[in-house]
Structure formats: C-alpha cells, structure tokens
Amino acid sequence: MAESEFDIIRYYFARHRASRDDVLVGIGDDAALLQAPAGRVLAVCLDTLVAGVHFPPETSAAAIGHKALAVNLSDLAAMGAEPAWATLALTVPENDAAWLAAFSDAFFTLADRYTVQLVGGDTTRGPLVITVQAHGFVPPGKALQRQGARPGERIYVTGTLGDAGLALRMNDPGDNWLRKRLDFPEPRIEAGLVLRDYASAAIDISDGLLADLGHLLEIDRLGASLRIDALPRSEAFLGAMQVLDPDRRGQFHELPLGAGDDYELCFTVAEQHCGEMEERLARIPGGCRWIGVVEADQGIRCYRDDGAPYRPAVSGYQHFSSTP
C-alpha cells in the first residue's frame, strides 16, 4: 500500500491522543513498549471480523469500528479483566476517507470509554478484514474462566438475549434500539470486574446461549436445567415480536436461546454468594437474571414455568443434548 498505508496510519490511527501512561512507546516504532503493572496477570485475546461472514456487507463503518473492539472487550469482560491496550490489523479494499474516518471515530469512542489505548497494528490492502487484539489485567487467581462450575450453582446472564439476532433477521426491525444491540454491543466490563468476587465460571455469549453455556458446562462434564420463560427479553424484542405474523413469531421465539451476537455474560454462582452478587449487579446497566441451575447430568434441559419440559428446535442444540 506504499504511501497510502502510512497516510492511513498517520491520519486515522496515530493522531488519537495517548490515554495511558503505561504505554512507553505506542504507534510509530517497530513494536510497542508496554509496562504491565506489577502483580497483575496479563489477559490477551484476539478476534477477526470478515465482511460478509461476521457482519452483513451493508454494515456501517462506525458499527464495524465499534464492534471489532467490542467483541474483544467482551472476551476480556468474560475473564474479569480490566482492559488496557489494543492492536489493530486492518485490511481495506481502498483508501476511502469517509469510511476510515467513521471506522476510527467509533473505534476510539469505545476505546476511550474504557481507557483502552491503541498501541500498534498493521495496515494492508485487500478484502475487508479487521483483527483486533486486546490486552487487560487481572489479579493473580482472580480471572474468571470457563471451567470451575459446580452442580447446584445458579446460572445467570447479564442484560437481555436475542435482540441482535432479531435485528439481523428483520429487514426493518422498526426499532433502532434493536439495531443498536446488533451494531454497537456494549461489552459488560463492569459486570466482569464485579463477578471476580462471586462467579465460579463465566463465558461471553457470542454464538447463542445454548452453544456458549454448553461450552462452559462441557469443560467440567456438567449439565444444566434452564427455565426458558425466565430468559431476559427486552421490551423492544417483545414489542417487535408482537407485530410479526404468527409464522415468523414462531420462527423467532427461540432467538434468546440460539441467536448469536448478544455479547452478554453467562456465569455460575454458588448459592451463598447469589444475594450479594445480585445486589451489586443490579446497580450496573443491564443487571443480571437467574435462568437455571448447574446439574451433574450432562446436557441442557429446558423447562417452562409450569414445569413442562421444552425441547428447543434451534440448531446447535444437538451438540449439547444428554447423549455424549
């Protein structure tokens, strides 16, 4: 990309002001020099977004810039890590000033909200692909992991489920809030930090509740029962469902179980910690909802409020049924 590669770095990425004093050398040298705090473990994650695969081609540059960082911050949140630094590998088909301005503005707006500093990256020409790596800190022994759940513990989720999935499937969700949930997911960083003190295991929901809870449970060869009527659904979700014709409503009502892109946290808490944890999360946007219980029997079993078993039709469920 010769000249324009350096122009892009200079105009859109290197100009943003430094936000952290633990960045000794940021963008502009052959590598960044970063001072990790003493007595902290470094949490590192990376996610790639490919146009047409991870987002529809018509997605706005701002949404892509936000989401590329947000999905990584969501992974840090699920580890209970405090975010600090990010690197960005950007492959773009052309030097499109309006696109790059909107992309970088949204990226830095989210980065600044969590005092995350962009410390380096790579810029190349090609089909649109964005890779972000994020780094965060966690006290030794305090990181939340997917492993660690125990039978009898309660299963919780933050926020609401299925909003992004619904927005993705409706041409016009008729409600901008739903669209925002798809395009501008808010990483649950504060919840992750609080949960260090309470959760025995945690994961962020990117592929759908059943799939991601399934990953968490599989590690310890556990199962769960889920109260599907307790799954948190937003007002906007319920409102949009009401105006759909019954056919599509039937098709969409399992979105809170199976749709991806929620970027909420799913976590397990031993009963004696639940009261205090609920109180603290209630003070954080999104809050949390108790949706089920960890069980020794593998597989995820769903129940209605009247106790009747419910067998989800959503694809992916089979991976997590009781047959190993």
Per CB under 6 A, residues contacting ligand ADP are 9, 13, 27-30, 88, 90, 118, 120-123
**Does residue 206 contact residue 89 with C-beta atoms inside 8 Å?**
no
Which amino acid is present at 45? C
Nearer to Mg ion, 122 or 235 (CB): 122
* Smallest separation, CB 31 to ligand ADP (Å): 7
Token digits for 194? 């609080």
DSSP 285: T
Radius of gyration of the CA atoms of the chain, in A: 20
CB neighbour list of residue 173: distance below 8 Å, 6 or more residues apart: 166, 167, 179, 240
Beta 23-25 vs 33-34: how paired, if at all?
antiparallel
CB of 86 to ligand ADP, least distance (A): 9
Which of Mg ion, ligand ADP, none binds 112 (CB below 5-8 Å, type-dependent)? none
Question: From the list ligand ADP, Mg ion, none, which binds 123 (C-beta under 5 to 8 Å, kind-based)?
Answer: ligand ADP
Between 91 and 298, name the residue whose CB sits nearer to Mg ion. 91
CA–CA distance, 27 with 36 (Å, rounded to integer):
17
**Strand arrangement, sheet containing 309-310:** 199-205, 264-269, 154-158, 288-295, 223-227, 299-303, 309-310
Q: Which stretch binds Mg ion (CB under 5 A): 14-22, 101-109, 120-128, 263-271?
A: 120-128
Shorter beta-carbon distance to ligand ADP: residue 116 or 118: 118
Q: Is 52 left (phi over 0), alpha (psi -120 to 50) or beta?
A: left
Distances (CA, A) of 223 to 93, 123, 155, 213: 45, 44, 11, 9
- By a kind-dependent CB cut-off of 5 to 8 A, residue 121 interacts, out of ligand ADP, Mg ion, none, with ligand ADP
Tell me how far, at minimum, the Cβ of 13 lies from ligand ADP, in Å.
4
Question: For Mg ion, which is the closer residue by CB, 49 or 89?
Answer: 89
Q: Of the two residues 65 and 162, which places its CB atom closer to ligand ADP in the complex?
A: 65
Residue 132's binding partner among ligand ADP, Mg ion, none (Cβ under 5 to 8 angstroms by kind) is: none
Q: Which is nearer to ligand ADP, 79 or 132 (CB)?
A: 132
Of the candidate residues 29, 96, 112, 122, the single one contacting Mg ion (CB under 5 A): 122
Nearer to ligand ADP, 88 or 288 (CB): 88
Question: What separation, in Å, do the N-terminal and C-terminal C-alpha atoms of the chain show?
Answer: 50
- Of these partners, Mg ion, ligand ADP, none, which one is at the site of residue 78 (CB under 5 to 8 Å by kind)? none
9 makes contact, choosing from Mg ion, ligand ADP, none, with CB < 5 to 8 Å by partner type, with: ligand ADP
Q: How far is the CB of 122 from Mg ion (least distance, A)?
A: 4
Provide, rounded to whole angstroms, the least separation between the CB of residue 120 and Mg ion.
9
Q: Phi first, then psi: what are they for 167, rounded to 5°? A: -60, -40
Nearest by Cα to 243 from 193, 172, 306, 313:
172
By a kind-dependent CB cut-off of 5 to 8 A, residue 159 interacts, out of Mg ion, ligand ADP, none, with none
Residue 30's binding partner among ligand ADP, Mg ion, none (Cβ under 5 to 8 angstroms by kind) is: ligand ADP
Quote the CA–CA distance of 135 and 42 in Å, as a whole number: 7
DSSP 265: E
DSSP assignment of 281-314, as one string?
HHTSTT-EEEEEEEESSSEEEEE-TTS-EE----
* Contact residues: Mg ion, CB under 5 A: 122
